[in-house]
Structure 1
Amino acid sequence: MDAKESTNERTASRKKKSKRHKENPDEAVGEDYPIDIWLLLASYIRPEDTVKFSLICKKAWTVTCTAAFWTRLYRRNPAVPETTPSTLKNSNCLLFWCRKIEGNRREPMWEFNFKFKKQPPRLKSNCCKGLQPPVQYEDVHTNPDQDCCLLQITTLNFIFLPVVMGMIFTLFTINVSTDMRHHRVRLVFQDSPVRNGKKPRLDQGVQVILDPVHSVRLLDWWHPQYPFSLKA
C-alpha cells in the first residue's frame, strides 16, 4: 500500500508540473546554474567527452568557447599523438623553409619544413550553420593556422629544392632508399588541384625527391611542437 501511494503521489506531481508548463509555456523549468559552476565541472571531463558536455545546455556550450576551458584541457593532456603523412591530399603549400640541425652523427643534418593548408571536407548538412561562438570569445576562435599542418622531413645532407610555395601538394610517397638503410621521399606539386579519383600527371607538376631521409613527421596545428611563429 505504501508503494502504491508513493507511486500515485509521483504521478500526481508530474501531472501538476505538466499542467503548469502547458498553462505557462514561457516559464522556465528547472534550475539555472551560473556559468562558473559549468566551468568548474568542465575541469573534470575527458577530452573525448567535450562534445557531450557542450550538448548539456547553452551555458555548458558557452564554457567550451572560453580560453580557460581549452587551457586547462591542454595542461591536463599535453601529450598529443602525431599524424601519419598519408593523410595529406590536395593540400596548398603555404610556406617552405629549411634549417641545419644537430644530428646524432658528427656532421649536422638538414630539416625541410613544408607548411600546408588542408582542404576542409565538404559538409552537406547546415545543422550547425546558425551556432556561432559568443562575441566576447571571438579572439579565442581566431586561428590563422586552422586546418594547417607541417610536414617535417630530416635528411642527412642538404638537397637543393625548387620553389614550391603556393603550389598544390598532390602526391606523397615514401619507400626504401638506395642504400637500404634510410628512406626515400617523393613529393609532387602542381599549379591546380587534382580531381577526385584521378592520378596527378607528373609531366605537369614539380617533382621533389629527398634521398636519403632520416625521419618524416606530420604535425597538425594543435600539436605542441607545431611552430606557430617562424623563427627558423
Structure 2
Amino acid sequence: MSRDHRRVKRQAFDFGDVTVHDYADALPSNKPLTARVKKGSTITFKKEVKTRILKKNMDELHWYEKDLEDFDIVPDEDHIDIEPKDDGNSYKFHTKTDVEKKKSKVDRQATEGVVYPVDIWFHLAKYIYPEDIQSFACLCKGANSVVRCVQFWKHLYLRWYNKQSELPVSLQPDNLDCVHGLQARVIRSLFYMYQPFADHLKSVIPFQSEPDQLIGQICLRIWHDKYSWNFKFTKSSRTVSSSNIPRSICSSGFDTWHKDLFYNQENNCCILQVTSKEYQSIPIVMGLVVNKISLSVSRDMRHHRLRMVFDSMMKMVSKDQSQSIEVILDPVVNLKILHWWDPKYTNS
C-alpha cells in the first residue's frame, strides 16, 4: 500500500469532533427511543457513531484509494438460485454448487425410474397397431425385448389375418412355424391384410416416387416385361448384415442363422420400374453404381425422359465421362420405386 493511500485512509478514520446531530441519528435499533438512555449504553452509541462516520468518509474516497476488503462484493446472479421459503415473505439463496448437487440428485433419481415386469409389456403389445411398433419398441428395454420375440410377430399376424386376403403361398399361416425370417414375412403380409397399409399403396400416383434416392446404389439385376423395364438396386454391400448372407447346411453357425427372426435378404433393396411407350434397348449396367439420375420432359413435351449415369464407383464430381455408361429411356409414361414390402415387389 502506498504512502498516499495510507494517508488518505488514515484521514477516513480520523473522526474529529462529534456533533450532537451525529448522536441524535445514531440509534441502536430501528425502534424509537421512548425511555431515558442509561449510562452503560453510551458505548453502543459511540460504536454506532464511529460506524456512520467511517462509512461516510469511505464513500467519499475514490475506488483506487480503497482496499479490497472495503468493497461489498455481491455474487453473480447467474451463480445464485433464489427460492422462496414456505412463509412467502423471505427467500433462500443457493450457490451454483448447491444447484448442481441438487440437479445431479434429481437426474440420478430420474434415470433410475420404475422397472415394470415384462409380462405387462407383453400384455400391452397385444393392442399395438402396426404403424406404432417402432414407437412402442423405443419406450424402454422391456418393450424392446417384447418386439424382438417370436410370439409378438405371430400374434400380430393372427390378429389381422383374414381368409379373404389373397396371400401368396409363402405368406400363408402354415409358414408361421418357421422362425427364419418371420418378421419380414409378417410385414409383407400386413400390406395384404391391414387396410391402412394396403390403401397407402393404392394411393400412389405415377411419378410420385423420387428417383434421386437411388443415387449411390448398386444395380443388381435388369429385366423387362414388354415395355416395362425393371432395375433392382441395393445399397452398399458394407451396410448388409452378416445374418442376411445365405448359408448352407454344412456352413458354420447354421443353427443360429436358421433361427434368425430378423433375416431378410431383400433388406435395403428396391426395384425401379419404368414403363415406356415402346421397346428400347439399353446397355448392360449390372454391378455398376448410379452416379446421376434425372427425370425431365420428353422431346414430344407430353411424356418424361429418364437419364441415368452408371460408373464403377460413386463419384461426387465426375469430370471424366469416358468410363461412364449412360442409360436413357424416352418417352416414359410411368415410374415407380417398389420396396421389398410391396406386394408388387418381385425378383423376376
Q: Which residue of 2 aligns with 1:85?
A: 211
AA matched with 2:218: N
Gaps of 5+ in 2: 1-113, 161-186, 240-255
TM-score (norm 1): 0.64
Could you tell me how far apart the structure 2 residues matched to 1:46 and 1:223 are?
15
**For each residue in 1:3-61, what CA deviation from the matched residue of structure 2 results, as whole angstroms up to 9, or x when unmatched?**
xxxxxxxxxxxxxxxxxxxxxxxxx965452675244133xx351x3233113444422
Q: Which residue of 1 aligns with 2:342?
A: 223
Aligned pair partner of 1:180 in 298, 301, 317: 301
Give yes or no for the alignment of 1:60 onto 2:143: yes
Identical positions, percent? 30
The 1:173/1:53 distance shift into structure 2, 3 A limit, reads same
Could you tell me how far apart the structure 2 residues matched to 1:137 and 1:149 are?
24
**For each residue in 1:96-152, what CA deviation from the matched residue of structure 2 results, as whole angstroms up to 9, or x when unmatched?**
10111xxxxxxxxx0000000124998xxxxxxxxxxxx799543111111111111
**For each residue in 1:188-214, what CA deviation from the matched residue of structure 2 results, as whole angstroms up to 9, or x when unmatched?**
11112214xx24643221001111111
Gaps of 5+ in 1: 1-27, 101-109, 123-134
Tell me by how many angstroms 1:181 deviates. 1.0
Question: More helix per residue: 1 or 2?
Answer: 2
- Helix, strand or coil for the counterpart of 1:203? coil
Could you tell me how far apart the structure 2 residues matched to 1:84 and 1:29 are?
44
Give yes or no for the alignment of 1:96 onto 2:222: yes
Q: Which residue of 2 aligns with 1:210?
A: 329
Tell me which structure has the larger Cα radius of gyration. 2
Could you tell me how far apart the structure 2 residues matched to 1:178 and 1:160 are?
18
Could you tell me how far apart the structure 2 residues matched to 1:142 and 1:96 are?
24
Is residue 91–residue 169 contact of structure 1 (8 Å, CA) maintained in 2? yes
RMSD over aligned Cα atoms: 3.1
Could you tell me how far apart the structure 2 residues matched to 1:175 and 1:152 are?
17
Question: More strand per residue: 1 or 2?
Answer: 1
The structure showing larger relative contact order (alpha-carbon pairs under 8 Å, at least 6 residues apart) is 1
Q: How many residues of Structure 1 are paired with residues of Structure 2 in the alignment?
A: 177
Is residue 118–residue 142 contact of structure 2 (8 Å, CA) maintained in 1? no
Aligned pairs for 1:1-232 (under 5 A) are: 30-33=116-119, 36-42=122-128, 45=129, 47=131, 49-65=132-148, 66=150, 67-68=153-154, 71=157, 72=160, 74=190, 75-76=193-194, 77-79=196-198, 80=200, 83-100=209-226, 110-119=227-236, 138-195=259-316, 198-199=317-318, 201-227=320-346, 229-230=347-348
